[in-house]
Amino acid sequence: MKIIKQADTIKAEEYPKVDVLATYVESLKMYLEDNSINPKLADLIETLPSPTKIIKDFSYQECKILFETVNYLWRQITGGDIIDENKIYDKPETLFGNYWIMSNGVLLHGINHYSIVKQNTNLFSTLLNLNGFALQQYLAGDPHELIRYIIENGAVRVFVTKDKRAYFQMSEDTYADWGKAKVKKYEFKPRIVRIIDFKSPYSGWTSGIAVKL
C-alpha cells in the first residue's frame, strides 16, 4: 500500500494514477495479442511490466518514467496522447461536458459518449470485460444501442453543464453496487440519475427512471 500512496501523488493533469496507468499497459498488451503491429512497437509492449507489478511495486518516479513509454506507444497506435484524449480527472469541480465513469474510478472525457468509446475500445473491453467482436458490432450500428450496451455492462454515462448541473445514466445493478455512492460524492446541484430499464427501448437521455440525489 505504501507504493500505491506514493504513486497517487502524481498530479492528475500530468500523469494518470498508478491503477489507471496499469490499465493502459494491460490494454496495450491485449491489443498486441489481437493485432499485427510494427515490430519495434511490439517489442516495446512486450517489455512493459505486468499491470500487477506496476500497482504493487512501482514508485512515483518509476511511474513517471513508465508513463513516457506508455504514452508514446498509445500515441503511435491511436494517434492521440493519453491525457489529451481521455482527460482523467481527480477533482469533480473541474468537470464539464461528456464522460464515462468506470467502477475502478477511471473517468474518460470526450466530445460525445459514442466517440469516447470508439477512441478507447481496448480500454472499455478491458475495464468492462466486453467481447471485442460484440463491441465492434455495436460500434458499427446505432449509437444509442452502443451507449445502452456500455451502460448495461456497468459504466456510468455522465453529462455536466457549465453551471455545474450533472446528469447520470446507469443500470439498476450499478446504482446499487457503487453508482449511487459515487454520485453522492459529487457536489453538483442538482444531481439527476436516470436508472435504465433494459426491457424498454433506449432513446438517450430521456430513458430511465429519474432519481434526484
The whole-model pTM stands at 0.62
Same domain? 172 vs 72: no
The CA angle 187-189-194, to the nearest 5 degrees, is: 100
Q: Which helix (H) or strand (E) holds 195?
A: strand 191-196
Count how many domains the chain has: 2
CA–CA separation, 10 and 132 (whole Å) = 31
Residue pair 22/89 in contact by the 8 Å Cβ criterion: no
For residues 6 and 62, membership in a common domain is answered with yes
Residues 156 and 191 in one domain: yes
Tell me the average pLDDT across 57-85.
78
124 and 208 in one domain? yes
Q: In this structure, are 43 and 60 located in the same domain?
A: yes
| More confident call, 106 vs 206 | 206
pLDDT at 104 over 80: no
Question: Tens digits of per-residue pLDDT, 32-65?
Answer: 876 788 898 899 999 999 988 988 898 888 888 8
Q: Which among 22, 129, 133 is positioned nearest to 70, based on CA atoms? A: 22
What pLDDT band is residue 188 in, cutting at 50, 70 and 90? confident
- Mean of pLDDT over the chain: 81
Same domain, 123 and 68: no
Q: Quick check: 3 pLDDT over 70?
A: no
- Express as a percent the part of the chain with pLDDT over 70: 84
Q: What's the pLDDT score for residue 213? A: 87
- pLDDT given for residue 94 in this prediction: 64
Q: How far from 30 is each of 27, 114, 128, CA to CA, in Å?
A: 5, 22, 14
158 DSSP β-pair partners: 99, 168
Listed residues 53, 86, 119: the one ending a domain:
86
Highest mean pLDDT among 14-18, 64-68, 149-153: 149-153
Q: Please indicate, yes or no, whether residues 7 and 105 belong to a single structural domain of this protein.
A: no
Domain limits for position 147: 92-212
Nearest Cα residue to 84 out of 156, 17, 15 = 15
Is residue 19's pLDDT more than 50? yes
102/78: higher pLDDT: 102
Same domain, 62 and 120: no
Return the higher-pLDDT residue of 146 and 9: 146
Considering the domain architecture, whether residues 48 and 146 belong to the same structural domain is answered as: no
Residue 15 has pLDDT above 70, yes or no: no
Contact by Cβ (8 Å): 204, 144: yes
Burial of 113 (0-12, 13-18, 19+ CB in 10 A): buried
- Residue 7 binned pLDDT confidence (cut-offs 50, 70, 90): very low
Cell numbers representing residue 135 in the block: 463491441
Query: Are 98 and 140 within one domain?
Result: yes
